[in-house]
Chain A
């Protein structure tokens, strides 16, 4: 199976919260990242979390890490149409400078 797995699609109503989930397999992950890719654009780093943390909040974004279950989530509060994009989860394993990316979750925000 893939090292980093994400569901491919998520649809939410504007104003609701979005939760994008990610699972990974390597327990030696040091950092985990969330990137956002808008149509026709490159990947934009949204946030990252160190593996010894279990939560990180940055304005509307909340990252939760369950290291025991190897599960990472990104919660977007008050989701707006401008949040529609593909969200990539990535992990970096100790000793490697190349992160491993998931296939991305396409977030669709509808009125």
Chain B
């Protein structure tokens, strides 16, 4: 398994500002993922972050709005830029590790963001 921590755990931000969320894993992993979870909705993948290359963004998400860093194999950041109330959500960091005979995703505790 993997132990994942995120900072901050929650924040309330003003419209137009930016927030950087940090994700730390207790072991080296190749792939890290950033998800958004809106109330009553499923998890939506924002992007996949590999160390040493640019993040790969899913449809509907762009680098200017959600820049991602992946400086090493245990750490990543997601920035939510120029925030609006529509960005209010839980942001989850995830990693993929082997569990038995499958690769499984493990999740951090999430960052609860409220934009006023």
Cα–Cα, bound, A43→B4 (Å):
11
Tally of B interface residues using CB under 8 Å: 26
A88 at the interface (CB under 8 A from B): yes
Question: A42 at interface (Cβ–Cβ under 8 A)?
Answer: yes
A8 touches B92 (CB 8 A): no
B26-77 interface with A by 8 A CB criterion: 31, 33, 40-43, 45, 48
Binds B, one of A13-21, A44-52, A61-69, A70-78: A44-52
From residue 1 to 48 of chain A, which have CB atoms closer than 8 A to chain B? 2, 4, 8, 30-31, 33, 35, 40-45, 48
Given known pairs A31-B102, A48-B102, the reply for A97 and B107 (CB within 8 Å) is: no
Given the complex, which residues of A lie within 8 Å of B99, measured CB to CB?
45, 48
